[in-house]
Chains A and B, each alone.
Chain A
Amino acid sequence: MLKICWFVALLFLPLPLHALGGDNGQVIKICGSGDSQVLLRNLGQAYEKLHPGIRVQVPDSIGSSGGVKATAGGQCDLGRTARPLKKKEKRFNLIYKVFARSPVVFVVSANLESVRNLTSQQVVSIFAGKIRSWQDIGGPSGKIYVANREKGDSSRTIIEKHLIDFALIEKPVGATIYSTPETMHIIATHDNTIAYGPLAAVKTEKGVRVLAYEGVIPDIEALGAKEYPLFSEFGLVWRQDVSALALNFVKFLDTHEARKIIYGYGAAPVVPEKI
């Protein structure tokens, strides 16, 4: 699977440069997790407006691990992550910064209007295949189609840490999807589907409904009040010898304009640490 992600990433890397062959070469390339992909693209567009002539390139997801490796290898200026660095990733001596926290939410297709909340027990039963019809949890009649994520995905890891029974499911039902945008696209385009992912990746997706979990609606307030337990941290990594251009973009994330955008995607900006 990692090979495919790498291939997809490498396949797309040359496209923007080629497409933007006419600019002056001021490009900041940010690659990595799909969780913060949509958010960073919007932040990049805002940065580009403030700094004409500079392009902020946010390619499709290659995963947090792919982002760390690509940054360490010099293929990207910045790497986007949806989890803290692993022990083996720290040997790259990259600088890591969390710039936002986003709730991890359960989402369903738009046709399931009557489904608004899921308990932890229902979540486990649905993904274990014990509940197979939406009617069983108060929804309309119809089979439940589960779009699960691969083992190691940041959102899945957060749910597994919080919900042990979820981690203990031996044979999860449904199809395994390997990227957050693809997952959200499936939910948006297929009825009676359910998935999970960061709220920041869902916010702008049409045809996707966010569910309350254990009666708590996942938003910034609930996150700030620590009422909602599931959240992921969006971070950036860069090398010691990163360009000043890229560092300027990092600094931009602490600006008021950037915070506004982060809030707009249902995420909470993090007070910047010393860089």
Chain B
Amino acid sequence: MIFRSIKTRLVWSHLLAILIVNAILGGMTYRFMAGKLIAAERHNLEFIVNHTADMLRSLILKKGRSLQQVAKGREFVEYLQTYRELALAQYLAGFKKQFPQISFVNKDGGEEVKVKDGVKSQVLVAAYDQQFVDRTQASPNEVEFVFDSELHNQTNSLLYLAISKYSYFGDRFEGTLLAAVPHQDLLQEIATTHIHSEGYLALWGDGKNDIFVQDSGHGHSHNSEGIMRMASYHKDGRQFLKKSGTKAHITKETILGVESLVAYVPLPEFQLNLLATLPHDKITLMLRQLRNRSLLVFFGLCFVAVILSYLLARSITRPIRKLTEVTREIADGGMETQGLAAIKHRADEVGVLVNSFETMINSLWSTMVSRDYIDSIFAAMAESIIVISENGGIKYVNDSACQLLGYSEKELLGLSIGDILADGLKIPDFIGQLRQKQEWQEAGYRHKHGSDVPVLFSCSSLVGKEGGKETVCVASDISSLQKAREALEQNEYYLKALMKSLPSGLLVIDAENRMIIDANPTSCLIFKCSREQLIGKICFELIAPVGEVDEWPPIVTPEKPIINMEAELVVPNAPRVPISMSVQAIRLRDSLIYINSFIDISESKKTLKALQESEEKLRSLSLTDELTGLLNRRGFFTMVEKQLEIYARSNKTAYILYADIDGLKDVNDTQGHSVGDKLLCSAAKALEGVSRKSDIVGRLGGDEFGVLLTNAENEEAILRRLDEKVSRFNSEASHPFELSISVGIVTCNESDQVSPCLLEGLLSTADAKMYAIKKRRKDKDHPAPKPDLP
């Protein structure tokens, strides 16, 4: 049945309807357009003939004005009789372009002069009757349009123009100028108009049988000048012409044996008729072309109609087909309805149907779980799923099960559950227990290659599609978990060994309450107690800080550990033990743990202290004079140079005193070096006595001393105080010697000097001064013997 489908029925019904409408409308349109075409051609012909008639009127009137100019141009009627004829002919020949044939008719009607193509021609003695003469004479200076059969026979002109010539002198009528309008001029005028390719124009004078026919290029039987006899033009002559009015008439006539559409307009003022002819064949041809184009459009529309009908039918039936497909898919267990997305937004009845259908599917989804849905869940699970039948045959496996066991799905579906369980598991009991307990239990699968795969195993029972009892076995691969567990145990063992073997104490402390939760043997040794005694104690009650600290117990974070901090262990009934400890905070799960490692630094402390004392002594010995306790030369230079730098910045005045003990060599030589040493010590005390604590006193070597005085009044005050000290010493009777010190003092003030004060220079200057003073004193005590006078 060809019309069984909706699509086919739609296509054919639309096509048929459009064909009928096309046929009716096409026929009507063709008739309408054909009528319009014929009307347009008629209108065109009317327009052409009217327009050309206007052009002819304009041309003839222009000719008339030219003839008026000829008549007014000169008083040629007054030519002397001796040369009148020749002069008149010459005058008229001057207008041969406008008027190839022109003649002067005297007042008696006789043709006096005729000029044809510029040449004097034979005249007619009595060419015109008195009526013609009277008519022209009655209208002075006005152009008359004349149509005369006799004239036409001679000139082949349809139209003549006549104007009376009056002599100026006495306003006397002298005759008539008569000029033929060349039919070439008229033909040229109408030749500018074209009527398609086969139409033509004809000019037809009243009362004549000859007409001028525009050459249409189809070889009409006219002569070379375009003249044709009326009889051959139309079988009834001019009977069909209606002469009423001056507007165009249109008729259908057989012209030159051809059925034609003829438009004509009378030109009564010129006694002419103008005809525009269009052979009917031309119109028939145009109608045929119109019919062919109409048919082309008709078939084109039919073709488009077929396409549109097909598209329309397809547009209507496609959603139905889609609905059918989706319905089938859902019936097969699928839940995919995306195929409806493209058509559910339609606003028509199909869209409503699709939306209703989709609503129905959604309702079904809310009450049912599709097979695809379960399969998708199973496929996405990391655990292996194996469904077995009551007799242990595998009925379903997911991808994880295939990967775990190394089989393909097809291979597994042919096996029993016993084939894939590890050895030692009694299948019925094992699975039965699990089904009852609904718990996870460690078990083992056997891989395709023979190795056992540890798994966490669980089973549950369900009713199969066919109503049979089935078991769902879910297993999770725990081989990596076991490996991690073993690694952890090993690490724990290593850690314990490490803690035992560590030479330093190690405490594991709960950071929250600072409680010791573990301790290694070394720490037990240091604390002199057992591990159990340590566990549970507050760590920082057993450890005390050394000196003052910002906070105690210290706050330790993973980012801010304590490194090598000195502290002391508080050991009951025993001295504190100095330790160096490092505390590192580590985060385990959610709790913070401190790892406190420490070492006993008692011995190293003692060693350090002894070392420091030794170093101090060595340092002291290197800067002091052992005999006097003053700075030795190195110490003096070191201290004084630093002090001078300070004074240089403060712009204060400093004094350098250079002292030399007088007579030390004598004391050593006479009383022994021990007395000499006492003398040196006495001198040192005397010098210390004149100086303040901020001053620096040093033994530069032998019996030479140097003093830096920074707050002295002046040199004299210093010398006076020194003299007082020495005098007081000498006044005491207990000394086996007399103290005498020679000194030289120099002043140092940076503001008064260009160059900085240098100790070497100052001492040298002071030494020079001291020597000068000592020399003056020697000279005074032991004057030189006066030379003998001659």
Q: Which 6 pairs of residues, A with B, have the shortest CB-CB distance?
A: A190-B169, A175-B168, A175-B75, A145-B169, A190-B170, A11-B86
14 new A-B contacts, CB < 8 A, other than A176-B75, A190-B167, are: A4-B87, A4-B90, A7-B90, A8-B86, A11-B83, A11-B90, A60-B80, A175-B168, A176-B74, A177-B75, A182-B79, A182-B80, A191-B170, A193-B169
- What is the minimal beta-carbon distance from A139 to any residue of chain B, in angstroms? 16
Taking CB atoms, residues of chain B closer than 8 Å to A185 are: 78, 80
Q: Mark B73-111, 1 if CB is under 8 A from A, else 0.
A: 011001110110011001100000000000000000000
For window 205-235 of chain B, which residues contact chain A by CB distance below 8 Å?
none
Binding site for A on B (CB under 8 A): 74-75, 78-80, 82-83, 86-87, 90-91, 167-170
Residue-by-residue, is A129-152 near B (CB-CB < 8 Å gives 1, otherwise 0)? 000000000000000010100000
Query: What string of 1s and 0s marks CB contacts (under 8 Å) between A116-130 and chain B?
Result: 000000000000000
Smallest Cβ distance from B119 to chain A, in angstroms? 14
- Expressed in whole angstroms, the minimum distance between the Cβ of A11 and any Cβ of chain B is 5
B90 touches A175 (CB 8 A): no
In angstroms, Cα B169 to Cα A191, docked, is: 8
Task: Contacts A8-B86, A8-B87 given; indicate if A175 touches B169 (C-beta within 8 A).
Answer: yes
12 A–B contacts from the bound complex (CB under 8 Å)? A7-B90, A8-B83, A8-B90, A11-B86, A12-B83, A145-B170, A175-B75, A176-B74, A177-B78, A185-B80, A190-B167, A192-B170
- What 1/0 flags go to A5-16 for Cβ under 8 Å of B? 001100110000
Q: Are A186 and B78 in contact (CB under 8 A)?
A: yes
**What range describes how many residues of A lie at the interface?**
20 to 34
- Which residues of chain B have C-beta atoms less than 8 A from A145's C-beta? 168-170
Q: Does A181 contact B (CB under 8 A)?
A: yes
Main secondary structure of the interface of A (DSSP, over half): mixed
Which residue of chain A has the shortest Cβ distance to B75 in the bound complex? Answer: A175
Nearest neighbor of B169 in chain A, beta-carbon distance:
A190
Docked-complex contact B83 and A147, CB < 8 angstroms = no
Verify if A172 is at the interface (C-beta below 8 Å from B). no
Shortest CB-to-CB span from B168 to chain A, Å, is 4
CB neighbours of B167 from chain A (8 A): 190
Closest to A174 in B: B168
Residues on A with C-beta less than 8 A from B91 are 4
Q: B83 to chain A: which residues have CB within 8 Å? A: 8, 11-12, 60
Tell me, in angstroms, the Cα distance from A179 to B80 when the chains sit together: 10
Which residues of the other chain, A, contact B169 by a CB distance below 8 angstroms? 145, 147, 175, 186, 190, 193
Docked CA distance A256–B91 (Å): 43
Closest CB of chain A to B173's CB: distance in Å? 14
What residue in chain B is nearest A4 (Cβ atoms)? Answer: B90
Q: Give the residues in chain A near B86, CB-CB below 8 Å.
A: 8, 11
**A182 partner residues in chain B, CB cutoff 8 A:** 78-80
How many pairs of residues, A versus B, come closer than 8 Å at their CB atoms?
Answer: 43
Specify which chain A residues have a CB less than 8 angstroms from the CB of B79 in the assembled complex. 182
How far in angstroms is the closest Cβ of chain A from B97?
16
Beta-carbon contacts under 8 Å, A164-216 to B? 174-177, 179, 181-182, 185-186, 190-193
Across the interface, do A181 and B78 meet the contact criterion of CB distance under 8 Å? Answer: no
- Please, which residues of chain A bring their CB within 8 A of the CB of B87? 4, 8
Please give the distance in Å from B545's CB to the nearest CB on chain A: 146
Q: Which residues of B contact A12 (CB under 8 A)?
A: 83
Roughly how many angstroms separate A193 CA and B167 CA in the complex, as a whole number? 12
Question: Shortest CB–CB separation between residue A204 and chain B, in angstroms?
Answer: 15
- Given the complex, which residues of A lie within 8 Å of B75, measured CB to CB? 175-177
Q: How far is the CB of B15 from chain A (nearest CB, A)?
A: 88
Q: How far is the CA of A145 from the CA of B80 in the complex (A)?
A: 18
Write the chain A residue with the least CB distance to B167: A190
Closest Cβ–Cβ distance, residue A267 to chain B (whole Å): 22
Q: Which of A12, A175, A181, A192 has the most CB of B within 10 A?
A: A175
CA–CA, A18 and B412, complex, Å: 152
Closest B residue to A190 using CB positions: B169
How far apart are the CA atoms of A4 and B75 in the complex, in Å? 14
In the assembled complex, which residues on chain B have CB atoms less than 8 Å from the CB atom of A176?
A: 74-75
The docked-state distance in angstroms from the alpha carbon of A186 to that of B172 is 13
- Given the complex of chains A and B, what is the CA–CA distance between A202 and B82 in angstroms? 18
| Cα distance A100–B665 in the bound complex, in angstroms | 187
Q: How far is the CA of A7 from the CA of B118 in the complex (A)?
A: 14
Q: Give complex CA distance A174, B78 in Å.
A: 13
Q: Residue among B87, B167, B170 with the most chain A CB within 10 A?
A: B170
Task: Determine the distance from Cα of A152 to Cα of B170 in the docked complex, in whole angstroms.
Answer: 27
Complex CA gap A42/B90 in Å reads 30
B319, chain A: closest CB distance, angstroms: 100
A175-B78 Cα distance, complex, nearest whole Å: 10
Give bound CA distance, A7 to B169, whole Å.
Answer: 26
Closest B residue to A183 by CB, please name it: B78
| Shortest Cβ gap from B569 to chain A (Å) | 154
Q: Give the complex CA separation of A71 and B716 in angstroms.
A: 165
State in angstroms the CA–CA spacing of A174 and B74 once bound together: 11
In angstroms, Cα B79 to Cα A7, docked, is 14
Distance in angstroms between the alpha carbons of A11 and B167 in the assembled complex: 25
Distance of A230 Cα from B329 Cα, bound (Å): 137
* Closest residue on chain B to residue A185 by CB atoms: B80
Residues of B within 8 A of A8 (CB): 83, 86-87, 90
- Within the assembled complex, what's the spacing in Å between the Cα atoms of A176 and B86? 19
> Which residues of the partner chain A approach B78 to less than 8 Å between Cβ atoms?
175, 177, 182, 185-186
What B residues does A60 contact at CB under 8 A?
Answer: 80, 82-83
Complexed CA–CA distance, A17 and B36 (Å): 79
A185 to B82 Cα, complex, angstroms: 12
Contacts of A11 in B (CB 8 A): 83, 86, 90
With a CB–CB cut-off of 8 A, which chain B residues contact A179?
80
Q: How far is the CA of A195 from the CA of B115 in the complex (A)?
A: 32
A58 to chain B minimum Cβ distance, whole angstroms, is: 13
Chain B residue nearest in CB terms to A7: B90
Across the interface, name the chain B residue whose C-beta is closest to A11: B86
Chain B residues with Cβ under 8 A from A7's Cβ? 90
Q: Which of A55-99 contact B (CB under 8 A)?
A: 60
What is the minimal beta-carbon distance from B767 to any residue of chain A, in angstroms? Answer: 147
**Nearest Cβ distance between residue B167 and chain A, in whole angstroms?**
8
> What is the CA–CA distance of A107 and B169 in the complex, to the nearest angstrom?
15
Cα–Cα, bound, A193→B78 (Å): 13
A179, chain B: closest CB distance, angstroms: 8
A4 to B88 CA separation, bound complex (whole angstroms): 10
CB contacts (< 8 Å) of A175 on chain B: these are 75, 78, 168-169
Interface centre among B75, B82, B86 (most CB of A within 10 A): B75
Closest chain B CB from A182 CB (angstroms):
5
Separation of A174 and B167 alpha carbons in the complex (Å): 11
Q: How far is the CA of A238 from the CA of B123 in the complex (A)?
A: 42
Residue of B82, B167, B168 ringed by the most chain A CB atoms within 10 A = B168
Please give the distance in Å from A4's CB to the nearest CB on chain B.
6
A214 CB to nearest chain B CB (Å): 27
Q: Which residue of A lies closest to B78 (CB)?
A: A186
In the bound complex, CA of A11 to CA of B89 (Å): 12
Taking the closest CB of chain B, its distance from the CB of A149, in whole angstroms, is: 12
A173 to B168, CA, bound (A): 11
**Complex alpha-carbon distance, A175 and B74, angstroms:** 8
A190 to B166, CA, bound (A): 13
CB distance from B701 to the nearest CB of A (A): 153
Residues of chain B with a CB closer than 8 A to A174's CB: 168
CB A134 to nearest CB in B, in angstroms, measures: 13
Q: Are B80 and A181 interface neighbours, CB within 8 A? A: yes
CB proximity of B367 to chain A, nearest CB, Å: 123
A8 and B87 CA atoms in complex are apart in Å by 7
Taking the nearest CB of chain B, how far is it from the CB of A206, in angstroms? Answer: 15
B75, B79, B82, B169 — most chain A CB neighbours (10 Å): B169
Q: Which residues from B are CB-within-8-Å of A186?
A: 78, 169
